[in-house]
Chain A
Amino acid sequence: MKLLSVQKLHKSFAGKTILSSVSFDLEAHQTLAVLGKSGCGKTTLLKMIAGLLDGSGEIQLNGNYVHTLPPQQRGIVYLYQEALLFPHLNVFENIAFGLRLRKMPEPALREKVDNMLEDLGLTTHARKMPTQLSGGQKQRVAFGRALIIEPRLLLLDEPFGNLDVETRANMQDFFKKIAQQQQITAMLVTHDLKEAVRMGDQLGYLDAGDLHIFDHLRDFIADPRTGMLAESAFWQSIQDAV
């Protein structure tokens, strides 16, 4: 079932075209990983879908047009590279933030946040302030804060870019697991080839304002722009040398 449909999304800044007529569909409960070089418009694409940037084009979510709605009414959560935990709130309150905005009754809120803390493996950290958490823990809280409001679509803007290699791999596994558990539909942009392949059910490449979605992984590998062939060749040459 198609959850997201983007048609002819266009954006220019100061006369320079950032996105030129981007169109694609995303199936429900799938993760679309979009690869692209820095400055190719990945963040612009996500922010337009989230309603944080104006532009032309149409966006449908579950068959309803949402491009005229403000971000608050789209049911789309946009996650930055930084965890952006609210510094004045502890872990529990950070996760509860979206529910408090919706004025959820306290007992139901507590139960829901406690369950989320358990899923995130953060129950013992509930009373900690953001400054007391590691980078990976902060990202988990950021995910929990987004997931608890049950968004229709999750947009991830290089969410693990600031983490070290090991934590990054752990977080990728964690996201895969929780995305499967909670049947999340997500769109992830990254410039990390491995991350895109590892996390995406669908793969896309954004270049010169144009998004190309690959039908199959082998097409992604075969496209020289993605760098997959060059990367494989590099590791093969290392292996041959030793």
Chain B
Amino acid sequence: MSVTAQKNTLYRRPQGHAALVFFLLLGVLPLAAGLVYAGLYSFGLIGYLRAGFTLQYWYITLTSKALWASLALSLGLAATVSAVSFFLALRCVIALHPHLKQRGVRFSLHLPLALPPLVAAFVSFQWLGGTGMLARGAHAIGLIQATDAFPVLVNDPYYIGVFVTLLLLNFPFILLLVLDQYDRAGIPEYVHLAATLGGNLAQIRRKVIQAILIHRVLPTLVLYTVFLFGAYEVPLLLGQQSPAMISVLISQKFSKFNLADVPVAYACAVLYAGVLLVLIACFWRWHFRQSPNSEHA
């Protein structure tokens, strides 16, 4: 019996069907139902303000500068946090690999993962706020005359507080991911091979270690960027009202007293989901072209 035939036999087992139905019922159906509901609401077909099919809420949504600014901000921030986390993790793994492999160190890297984003946001607020620890410390050692002279790092227009907090939350996860892939990819053998092929240390770092790890980590990194795209608690507490990150903006529209904002909020939610799906589809299409038959594809 060929391997393909064996695979098909396994797939056809009743348990396989049951698992597929289970996945569709729990994984796909609720999300699809939510999107359909949001779509119907945004076209005025259901909800308190239903008055038949209308495009007015979509017109408001698509011509809203705040929405596009919010989408761009969310995407830019998520991509920046992911990229910076990855390159910091890469540098750490290259420089500290033997130490990071020690059991105690590895365990300690998992600890920050248990920190809820809301708690991390409060901690950042305590440290980075105008009267926070850093401001008081700077005042105590005479760097600033008064604590309010400290640079604005929370609720600031450049989203520095949000960036720093998301980076602190993300970095341990990305570090563990890169460390795991470093071990699995057999990097030391590639490094030896590249050295005998004539590569100097800088070339080996860039063309071998970095390139192989990017290749292996990229799919997970993209999915993590998607997850960050929808970050809520941290930007809610440390970000600005306008432009707000997309999940905060949608939440604002849902919670307003004006009922006409609810269909707009649903339209924003559908658009948000649509943008993400298009981005994910584009990425996978590109990735499959780059790595057909890849175990990571």
Contact = CB atoms under 8 A, between A and B. Distances in A.
A16 B292 CA distance: 46
A86 B213 CA distance: 11
B208 interface: yes
Contacts of B293: 129, 131-132
B285 to A, nearest CB: 15
B50 interface: no
A149 B195 CA distance: 13
Nearest to A146: B197
B294 A52 contact: no
Interface stretch (B60-68, B158-166, B198-206): B198-206
Given A97-B194, A101-B207, A151-B196, 20 more contacts: A51-B196, A71-B192, A76-B196, A77-B196, A77-B197, A78-B192, A80-B189, A80-B193, A82-B189, A84-B186, A84-B193, A87-B291, A88-B215, A101-B197, A101-B200, A102-B198, A129-B292, A129-B294, A131-B293, A132-B293
Nearest to B192: A52
A39 interface: no
15 contacts: A47-B192, A50-B192, A70-B195, A77-B197, A78-B193, A80-B193, A88-B214, A88-B215, A98-B198, A101-B199, A102-B198, A129-B293, A129-B294, A131-B291, A149-B198
Given A86-B211, A101-B203, A129-B291, A145 B196 contact: no
Interface of A: 47, 50-52, 70-72, 74, 76-80, 82, 84, 86-89, 97-98, 100-102, 129, 131-132, 145-146, 149, 151
B136 interface: no
Contacts, number: 81
Interface of B: 185-186, 189-190, 192-200, 203, 207-208, 211-212, 214-216, 290-295
Contacts of A88: 211-212, 214-215, 290-291
Contacts of B295: 131
A72 B204 CA distance: 11
Specify which of B198, B207, B216, B292 lies most central, judged by the most chain A CB atoms within 10 Å of its CB: B198
Contacts of B196: 50-52, 71-72, 74, 76-78, 151
A153 B290 CA distance: 33
B197 A149 contact: yes
Contacts of B291: 87-88, 129, 131
B200 A72 contact: yes
A129 B215 contact: no
Given A82-B189, A86-B190, A86-B211, A71 B195 contact: yes
- By Cβ-Cβ distance, the 7 closest A-B pairs, closest first, are A88-B215, A131-B293, A71-B195, A98-B197, A78-B196, A77-B196, A101-B199
A96 B293 CA distance: 22
A51 B252 CA distance: 63
Contact of A87 (B189, B192, B212): B212
B35 to A, nearest CB: 34
Nearest to B191: A52
B292 A101 contact: no
Nearest to A88: B215
A129 B293 CA distance: 9
Nearest to A75: B198
Contacts of B198: 72, 98, 101-102, 149
Contacts of A86: 190, 208, 211-212
Nearest to B289: A129
B204 to A, nearest CB: 9
Nearest to A76: B196
B268 to A, nearest CB: 37
Contact of B215 (A72, A74, A87, A102): A87
A80 B211 CA distance: 20
Contacts of A151: 196
Contacts of A84: 186, 189-190, 193
A97 B186 contact: no
A101 B290 CA distance: 22
B57 to A, nearest CB: 45
A87 B199 contact: no
A79 B186 CA distance: 14
A129 B208 CA distance: 16
Contacts of B292: 129, 131-132
Contacts of A146: 197
Nearest to A87: B215
Q: B192, B203, B295 — which one has the most chain A CB atoms within 10 A of its CB?
A: B192
A121 to B, nearest CB: 21
Contacts of B190: 84, 86
A14 to B, nearest CB: 17
Nearest to A53: B192
Nearest to A145: B197
A58 to B, nearest CB: 19
